[in-house]
Structure 1
Amino acid sequence: MSEVRGTAERIIGAYGVRGRVPDELDLGGAYRTGAAFALLTGAPVVAVAHDLRGSSPALADAFGQGILDQGADVLDAGPGPADALTCLSGHLDVPGALVTAGHGSGAPHAIRLCRAGAVAVAEGTGLEAIRERLAGPRPPMTDAPGSVVAAPVLDDYARKLRSLVDLSGIRPLKVVVDAPHGMAALTAPRVLHPAVELVPVRFQVSNERSGQGSWYLGERVRRTGADLGLAFDAGAEHLRAVDERGVAVSPAAVIALVAARELARRPGAAVVHDLITSRSAIEAVEAAGGIPLRCRAGRAAIRSLMAEQGAAFGGSHSGRYYFRDFWCADSALLAALHLVAELGHSGRKLSELVAGHDRYPRSGEIGIRVEDPVAALHRVTAHFAATDAELDHLDGVTGEFGDGSWFNVRAARTVPLVRIHVEAETLAAMEGLRERVLSVVAASVPAR
């Protein structure tokens, strides 16, 4: 029993089930998780989707069998991104699960769970109950197993996204879409065509990792004379954009543009941002009449605060964008639709639209391996408490200075690592603060 309990503790984190296949998460573990989820929700039907990674369909089948053996039916959504499952769960008001994973050898898989209405299941809202069931005896099978109902979701998902953003009457646009052998190759054409001329890049749906870097998007935009470039990760969850020059558009600029569009529909509404979001995006929200709300980094924190405050929109420094009209969930493709609509209706170039929305120099994320991340955070707190920095501990340690510069140091959840972000008014100020923070963190004993 202790071995089973240890496995349960390893694969159940704060936000879902996660483990390397098959050492930590195998078909038996997926089956047990499905059974535990069916018992947790008590729902007569559960939607199940998966991504395009090689092991995901088999894990999804095993998860679904656990549900069936507890007497519930399975809506088999087949391949689909996380926001497609959100759409299915929200529209039909049923619980759901998505089996997904990172690319590359040994990348861990994850099973993301949501209750009816696309409400995420996390620590404190059900994961702890699943952990206990996984650590206990195998649940008995029901005498009346459920049935599998095919429920392909992609077409309905595309219709839902198009209903939220009006592309009618936009000027002709050429849009490069880079879908590196991932889900966006299935979804982007359904959503964007025929409103724009779509130039596909790496649309061969595959389980293999692509070796080409993201630089390829900007080069293809310049070569084809496109108006915009959109790049998605393999799960179509993160969005990166480049303008007509092939220059990257920062998440801060995307937040500024999309927030302004959502605030035009809901004047004075709140907009949630994680604490690492650039000050330029926050100032843009204020200029558009919105109320910026700061929260911890992460999907669960942003969705929770949006629902609590009735926020119109939410954005993160990592390229995730959240919408009140989409069950407060994130959708990279919905954010992309907003960019296309703004570009198509404005008659201006994207470089003109984003000018001024990324004016503060940033360090980007700096990861430092340390032996004891907690000790490193205490060291940062002690050092900067003796300065004129205003400190808070909403998520790690954040220090803000009177000149507008700030830093954040957070501990990674699963590895001995701290993540550092720094922003300032000038490049020299940013570099100086960055080196100061790094020196304090580096004084900790390095991890091996």
Structure 2
Amino acid sequence: MDLPLIVSTSGIRGIVGEGITPEVVSRLAASYATTLRHRRVVLGSDTRPSREMCRHAVLAGLISTGCEIIDIGICPTPSVQIMVDKCEAGGGIAITASHNPVHWNALKLFNENGLFLSHNQLERILNIYHQSLSRVTEGGIKRASFSRLGKVREEHSTFDVHIEKILQGLNVGLIRKKKFRIALDCVNGAGSIITPIFLRELNCTITAINTNPREDFPHPPEPSPKNLQQLSSLVREGRFDAGFAQDPDADRLAIVTEGGIALSEECSIVLATIAVLEEKRGAVVVNLSTTRAIDDIAAAFGCPVFRSRIGERNVVTAMKRHRAVIGGEGSGGVIYPRVHYARDSMVAIGLILQHMAGSGRKLSEIVASHPRYHLIKQYILCAPEKKEKLLADLKEQLKGERLDVRDGIKIIRKDSWAHIRSSKTEPAIRILAEAPTKRGANELFNFIVDKIEMPD
């Protein structure tokens, strides 16, 4: 697009006031609505300051195309996906830029099954959008006549529906018996109200911080260890069994042990995978950038692992193809088909508590017993128009390596790997390197960085 927007199957996002403006958002919403076979749309959002601007713009676009809008308010992204199914809607929109900084916002777009759109579906929306820019008659957007304008109704059952679906997929009795003490950081995001309710349903005693949806994010919103100092201190001083941190739309989870140690977000999918495979053997699907510990754990259970390209849509497609019992991404996203094909931080919390309850061990003891790798995650800023050349030049320099080029460049060695790819959510190139030792990970990371040449 000739606007400063980042477009991927994970959504259409940009900086508010630059790529994300009321005009752009409204036209994108109308273009999306034009592609729907059934014009009932579920609408939810996270808590960013630009929420109301974007919400009203989306409503204008949907109403103008004759949609019936089911407004479920501030809620996690997986709540939107679940309610698309529940309401038999033609699609859904979550207004959220997920882990991006507060000055970003985005539209996450879902189909009639509550799943992210395919590449072809997204391309069709963008074609309609561009046609509407080039023609006075608004091109391919199908506007409704006055008598057929859309209507909005509010739906207040979302939290109950979402929580009940998760509880049906857990051993609730086992978890409730343990009466866990949990510290929670919701980053003042979409999980601020629903997550404490969910934890109380599991008979947990909770102390929650940053649970005011009207306030700004108290720290960088990505749920990575460096951003969890406040939660770590709370857990360490309060003798909790665990600490959990969500991102602004509550689809990703990070964990703090009872000793106040913030774990890599990779641990969320690792722990969830163990919890599921203990109950039911089956295939596991993760993306190309997820820790190799998943392969070791699945092998211990005699289960296969399949890897997909980055992005929830790609993981879900592979999960369905291989009939996976669990899947997700190393960024903290856990997808449990028994609940829904969506990344869901509350599902991850439930599975981790179930595993803790069943094992009878402290969280730190569970983590210490797992295969451990050292994983470096860094990025370099790179303009979108330069990414392709940078990766092509790097691939040429890595001819002697065993490569997987389905999504960027992944170097695969006997006991280590590195993945270099274009970010789908930021103007950046992501670089990941994992090895059994910290030294090995650093050497592999530096090997990559030394070969990267930024195009002119």
Whether these two folds match at TM > 0.5 is yes
Partner in structure 2 of residue 424 of structure 1: 435
Aligned to 1:199: 207
In structure 1, the residue matched to 2:55 is 60
> How many angstroms apart in 1 are the aligned matches of 2:257 and 2:159?
28
Letter of the 1:393 counterpart? V
Work out whether residues 171 and 345 of structure 1, in 8 Å CA contact, stay in contact via their aligned partners in 2: no
Equivalent pairs, count: 435
Tell me which residue corresponds to 2:173.
Answer: 168
**Could you tell me how far apart the structure 1 residues matched to 2:33 and 2:390 are?**
41
The answer to whether the 8 Å contact 1:281/1:357 transfers is no
Could you tell which deviates more after superposition, 50-59 or 290-299?
A: 50-59
Post-superposition offset of 1:302 = 0.9
Between the aligned partners of 1:366 and 1:51, the Cα distance in structure 2 is 25
TM-aligned CA distance change 1:445 to 1:100, over 3 Å: closer
Kept in 2: contact 1:397–1:410 (CA 8 A): yes
Aligned-residue offset at 1:186: 1.0
Superposition pairs of residues 47-86 of structure 1, within 5 angstroms: 47-86=42-81
The normalised TM-score by structure 1 is: 0.89
Which residue in the other structure is 2:232 paired with? 218
**2:400 counterpart of 1:405:** no
C-alpha distance in structure 2 between counterparts of 1:416 and 1:11, whole Å = 8
* Matched ranges for 1:125-144 at <5 A: 126-135=121-130, 136=132, 137-138=137-138, 139-142=142-145, 143-144=147-148
CA offset digits 1:196-215 (Å, max 9, x no partner): 00111122223413148411
Structure 2 counterpart of 1:327: 340
* Displacement of 1:273: 0.9
Q: 2:395 aligns with which of 365, 381, 385?
A: 381
Structure 1: segments with no counterpart, 5+ residues: none
Contact 2:71 2:153 in 1 (8 A): yes
Equivalent in the alignment of 1:354: 367
Contact (CA 8 Å) 1:101, 1:107: kept in 2 or not?
Answer: no
TM-score, length basis structure 2: 0.88
Q: Which residue does 2:245 correspond to in 1?
A: 231
**1-side partners of 2:366 and 2:254: how far apart?**
16
Partner of 2:94 in structure 1?
Answer: 98
User: Which of 199, 205, 208 is the equivalent residue of 2:216?
Assistant: 208
In structure 1, how many angstroms separate the alpha carbons of the residues matched to 2:451 and 2:42?
48
Deviates more, 1:341-350 or 1:407-416: 407-416
**Aligned-partner Cα distance in 2 for 1:417–1:80:** 28
Mapped to 2, the partners of 1:36 and 1:18 lie a distance apart of 15
Q: Deviations over 1:5-43 (max 9, x none)?
A: 744x94654543323333333323333233222221131
Structure 2: any 5+ residue segments left out of the alignment? Answer: 221-226
Matched, 1:394 2:399: no
CA distance in 2 between counterparts of 1:189 and 1:434 reads: 39
Q: In the superposition, relative to structure 1, how do residues 294 and 414 fare at CA in structure 2: closer, same or farther (>3 Å)?
A: closer
Read off the aligned partner of 2:289 and give its amino acid letter.
Answer: I
Distance in 2 of aligned mates of 1:199 and 1:292:
37
How far 1:415 sits from its partner (Å)?
6.2
AA aligned opposite 1:204: N
Query: For residues 172-183 of structure 1, what are the structure 2 equivalents within 5 Å?
Result: 172-183=179-190
Q: Which amino acid aligns with 1:422?
A: A
Give, as a single letter, the amino acid of the residue that structure 2 aligns with 1:115. Answer: N
Residues in 2 aligned to 1:105 and 1:433: alpha-carbon distance in whole angstroms: 29
Give the partner amino acid of 2:412.
E
Q: Aligned pair 1:272/2:268, yes or no?
A: no
Please name the residue that 2:116 is paired with: 120
- Aligned-partner Cα distance in 2 for 1:10–1:235: 20
SS at match of 1:119: coil
- Structure 1 consecutive aligned stretches of length 4 or more whose deviation exceeds 6 Å: 103-106
Name which of 125, 132, 153 aligns with 1:149.
153
Displacement, 1:359? 1.4
Contact kept? 1:392, 1:398, Cα under 8 Å: yes
Task: Identify if the C-alpha distance between structure 1 residues 77 and 413 changes in structure 2 by more than 3 Å, giving closer, same or farther.
Answer: closer
Q: Secondary structure at the match of 1:185?
A: coil
Is 2:161 aligned against 1:159?
A: no
The aligned counterpart of 2:354 is 341
Question: Partner letter of residue 367 of structure 2?
Answer: V
The one of the two structures with greater contact order (alpha-carbon pairs below 8 A, sep at least 6) is 2
| Residues 241-252 of structure 1 aligned to structure 2 (within 5 Å) | 241-252=255-266
